[in-house]
A and B are shown apart, each in its own frame.
Chain A
Amino acid sequence: MRRRRARRAGTARREGASEVGTLALQLLVNGILLGGLYVLVAQSLNLIFGVMGVVNLAHGSIIALAGLFTYWFSMRTGLSPLLVLPLALAGGAAAGAAGQRLLIEPVMQAGAKAGLLSLIVTFGLSYVLIELALQVFGSDFVSVPYLQSSWKLGALAFGKALVVAGAFAAVMSALLYWWLNRTYSGKALLAASQSPTGALSCGIDVARVRLIAFGIGVGLAAAAGVLVIVIMPVAPQTASDLTLLAFVIIALGGLGDYLGVAAAALLLGIAQSVAGYYLGGNAEYVLPYVLLLVVMLAGPGRFRRLG
């Protein structure tokens, strides 16, 4: 009798441990998938910040605008939101390049004041884009109802939309990393970000590199917007949260450190996944703000430009 009770208790403990293990694994996988998307959200800002020293405060507005456009497209046509990805990449890159030439590059010639002026310009641009989004799409939070079921793997369940969005974002971030580190044009961009004078002495057209970096950065931000709205509700007023999220990740990972930023994005994704489950409510949304405070207190030097 005693032996049977002990066996039953052992089985219950094992089942309990197994449930905890499954839950931990589930939260970890969800966090990694969310982090995969965050990598893209942050790398696009990292690219612009790292190469140009420009704090693009319109970053979140671009993501939100692209997301809301994706919602509008998907609702109107009934087609997959992922079809907007190439359009967002190309359109974002073209708009980014045009914006850089018209708004940012003139400011870059202002010498020591360039940083402050670019901050003001992108701050203004951010509000123009938010107002545009409010006028066109309204102020409601919306999300594209896409792939709402789950894939099951044993006791684990993976939201299809999260898997697809996370995977697309991770692939795009990996391609960005490959391009930066394995091609001449990518290395020229890294060189210009680490020493513009050194890059000029190699015959690299640094003004053109800035144009390319801003174009690619905005294109990737727009692509991130397409993927973000597939897994979370977005409204024009989400813009500042998205900008802050990207900043926190860059601050954690290190400006210009693409691997560091990827690791930080994954960590934040996991932390949010765990906080959302255990603390519930808005804990996962508060987390980036708390982390920003911790980073600023622990080592604001991470914001400094490298090189």
Chain B
Amino acid sequence: MNKDAPALVVEDATAGIGPLTILDGVSLELGSREVVAVLGANGAGKTTLLRTIAGLLPPRRGSIRLFGEPIEGRPAHEITRAGIGHVPSGRELFPRLSVADHLELGGRLSSPARRVELRQRMLEMFPALGQRLGQRAGTLSGGEQQMLAIARALMTDPRVLLLDEPSTGLAPKIVLSVFQTFPLLRKQGVSILLAEQSLTLGLSAADRAYVMDQGRIVLSGNAAALAEDHRVVDTYLGR
């Protein structure tokens, strides 16, 4: 691992399912302790990009490096172990397992001492989960489920966190409370790649952003600058 290298570099990544190409030559960079948003309308390829980085979909072409170390083509569980935490679209919780089980399963990669520390940190970050430790994940509210999905990913002690549309189906107040954890995560050395359909939310939470359309990056830049750029809205509207 090269500590001076960017947290994550994706170069010319192409991926798809069967004959369908969903991701077409995508390149992006995520700096250490940076929050970068990947924006785009539904079907732009955001989820496929995150799934490809997480190893759930092998890239057909291109490279992916985590702090300089190539990870493309490695199995998904090994990529998690290498330091990429993934909060998948739809959360992918274990509905019949308890909140405590989720934290235990996520924390298994760490030493027992580190696991205790991470668990404590999660319960401070998401106090609602502390009151529901014995409750089955399938019975939690949408907001609590999202918090649990993030906490489970953070229990793997990642250096890069991939967040796939965390705002989907959540009340604005809950979304805000999820995004409010970003400064704390940054302070803890976690870099965040956030896939988000909502322009306002994505740009308000990120330092920089990439805009995707039909599997390609069509715009990129500083979040504040992109917020003023009419081309972003044009891309969303297919103009």
Which residues of A pack against B, CB within 8 Å?
111, 184, 187-188, 190-191, 194-195, 197-207, 256, 306-307
By secondary structure, the A interface counts as helix
Most chain-A CB neighbours within 10 Å: which of B18, B94, B152? B94
- Which residue of A194, A199, A201, A205 contacts B153 across the interface (Cβ within 8 Å)? A201
In the bound assembly, the distance between CA atoms of A221 and B88 in angstroms comes to 36
Report the nearest A residue to B106, measured CB to CB: A202
Which residues of A have CB within 8 Å of B109?
A: 202-203
Which residues on A sit within 8 Å (CB–CB) of B155?
A: 202
Contact A197 B56 (CB under 8 A): yes
A184 to chain B, nearest CB (A): 6
How far, in angstroms, from A187 to B106 measured CA to CA in the complex? 11
- B residues in contact with A206, CB < 8 Å: 77
Is B92 close to A, CB under 8 A? Answer: yes
CB contacts under 8 Å to A, within B78-116, are 80-81, 85-88, 91-97, 101, 104-106, 108-109
**Judging by beta carbons under 8 Å apart, are A200 and B93 in contact?**
no
Query: Does B48 make an interface contact (CB < 8 A)?
Result: no
CB distance from A246 to the nearest CB of B (A): 21
Q: Indicate if the CB atoms of B94 and A197 lie closer than 8 Å.
A: no
Taking a contact as CB atoms closer than 8 A, the residue among B18, B95, B101, B108 that contacts A203 in the complex is B108
- Beyond the given pairs A200-B55, A202-B152, A256-B96, 20 more chain A to chain B contacts, judged by CB atoms under 8 angstroms and listed by A's residue number, are A111-B18, A184-B108, A187-B104, A188-B108, A194-B95, A194-B96, A197-B56, A198-B92, A199-B105, A200-B77, A200-B80, A201-B80, A201-B85, A201-B88, A201-B153, A202-B105, A202-B109, A203-B156, A306-B96, A307-B95
Does B76 make an interface contact (CB < 8 A)? yes
Residues of chain A lying within 8 A (CB to CB) of residue B56: 197, 200
The answer to whether A194 touches B104, judged by C-beta atoms less than 8 angstroms apart, is: no
Answer yes or no: B54 CB below 8 A from chain A CBs: yes
Which 10 A-B pairs have CB atoms at the shortest separation, nearest pair first? A198-B92, A203-B80, A200-B76, A194-B94, A201-B86, A195-B92, A197-B92, A202-B105, A205-B77, A191-B94
In whole angstroms, what is the CA distance A128 to B55 when docked?
Answer: 37
Q: Is the CB of A201 within 8 A of B81?
A: no
Chain A residue, CB-CB nearest to B86: A201
Most buried by B among A199, A200, A256, A307: A200
Task: Name the distance in Å between B31's Cβ and chain A's nearest Cβ.
Answer: 23
Known contacts A201-B54, A201-B153, A307-B94, A191 near B105 by CB under 8 Å: yes
Given A191-B97, A203-B77, A203-B81, A197–B108 Cβ distance below 8 Å?
no
In the bound complex, what is the Cα–Cα distance between A307 and B54 (angstroms)?
21
Known: A200-B80, A201-B80, A202-B106. A187 touches B156 (CB 8 A): no
Whether B70 is near chain A, meaning CB under 8 Å from some CB there, is no
Q: How far is the CA of A188 from the CA of B106 in the complex (A)?
A: 10
Chain A to chain B contacts (Cβ below 8 Å), 28 pairs: A111-B17, A184-B105, A187-B97, A187-B104, A190-B96, A191-B94, A194-B94, A194-B95, A197-B56, A197-B92, A198-B92, A198-B94, A200-B56, A200-B76, A200-B77, A200-B80, A201-B54, A201-B85, A201-B92, A201-B153, A202-B80, A202-B152, A203-B81, A205-B77, A207-B75, A306-B95, A307-B94, A307-B96
Q: Are A202 and B76 in contact (CB under 8 A)?
A: no
- With A200-B80, A203-B156, A204-B77: A190-B94 Cβ-Cβ less than 8 Å: yes
* Residue from the set A188, A201, A306 with the largest chain B CB neighbour count within 10 Å: A201
* Nearest CB in chain A: distance from B80 CB, A: 4
Contacting pair B93 A198 (CB below 8 A): yes
Select B108's contact among A202, A207, A306, beta carbons within 8 Å.
A202
Q: Give, as a whole number of angstroms, the nearest-CB distance from A282 to chain B.
A: 38
Distance between B153 CB and nearest chain A CB, rounded to angstroms? 6
Q: In the complex, A111 Cα to B18 Cα: how many Å?
A: 10
Q: Which residue of A lies closest to B90 (CB)?
A: A197
Nearest Cβ on chain B to A166's Cβ, whole angstroms = 28
Cα of A197 to Cα of B55 in the assembled complex, Å? 10
Partner of A184, one of B85, B95, B104: B104
Q: Which residues B3-19 have CB closer than 8 A to chain A?
A: 17-18
Chain B residues, CB < 8 A from A306:
95-96
Min CB gap A43→B, angstroms = 16
CB B77 to nearest CB in A, in angstroms, measures: 5
| Chain B residues within 8 Å of A190, by CB | 94, 96-97
- Of the candidates B56, B77, B86, B97, the one having the most CB atoms from chain A within 10 angstroms of its own CB is B77
Bound-complex Cα distance A187 to B153 (A):
17
